[in-house]
Amino acid sequence: MKWLFVLLLAVIVFGGATFFTYDLFVKPERTIRAEQSGEISTSPAPDISLPEFQAAAKLRQEDKLAECQAALTTFMQKYPAGLHTEEAKDLLGEVNMRILLSDYPSPEKQEYIVKSGDVINRVANKMKTTPELIMRINGLDSTMLRIGERLWIAHPDFALFIQRNAKAVVLLNHGAFFRRYRITALKVSPKQPPRITTKVAEMMAWRGGKRVGLGTREYKGSTHWV
């Protein structure tokens, strides 16, 4: 019986060592090979940014535009290459436009009360903005102003960044992201330099193949060209 006990002890010792060696070295190596060959599907990494994006989107649904704007800006800085960053850009662009082109209060806007003798061009020059932006922000259908009328005035500093490879136009305001537009048609010479810096020379409005002026009835439904 003594030899049987010794044999059993040897099996336990050497068998345990063999199992330990397999579990420590052989099993992980086989698992790695199986994952590389596609036999075992690796589970995707958890989407840690989703709750923050959903919280920001909820602020938009609740019409809390300023809070949504701040939340999305922080989100994009925190997750520059996140799964929902592209969605965040589109949503932030929508929120930025809603804040700018409405009477929604914003630190960038100031109120102006129309005085006797004011015309929209004079007000625009005085406030260092454009007549069109005054009309868009305040929902004006004509250039006529009324004495005592309260106007919201904004002072954006826009710049366009055209990404030819990505077929996108990024609108910046004071150097920060404001909105993104997708290019539907792009026709440029193949010999163009990789980077061009220029200034907008003129903005034109067209309707029905004819150029129209600011304040006319045709202007509201026209297409604008830079």
Q: What is the dihedral of CA 79, 109, 136, 143, to 10 degrees?
A: -170
Percent of the chain with pLDDT over 90: 46
- The pLDDT assigned to 4 comes to 43
Listing DSSP states for 56-117 in one string gives HHHHHHTT-HHHHHHHHHHHHHH-TT-TTHHHHHHHHHHHHHHHHTSS---TTEEEEE--TT
| Tens digit of each residue's pLDDT (9 = 90 or more) over 94-121 | 999 999 999 898 998 999 999 999 999 9
The secondary structure element, H or E, covering residue 181 is strand 176-182
How would residue 12 be classed by pLDDT, with cut points 50, 70 and 90? very low
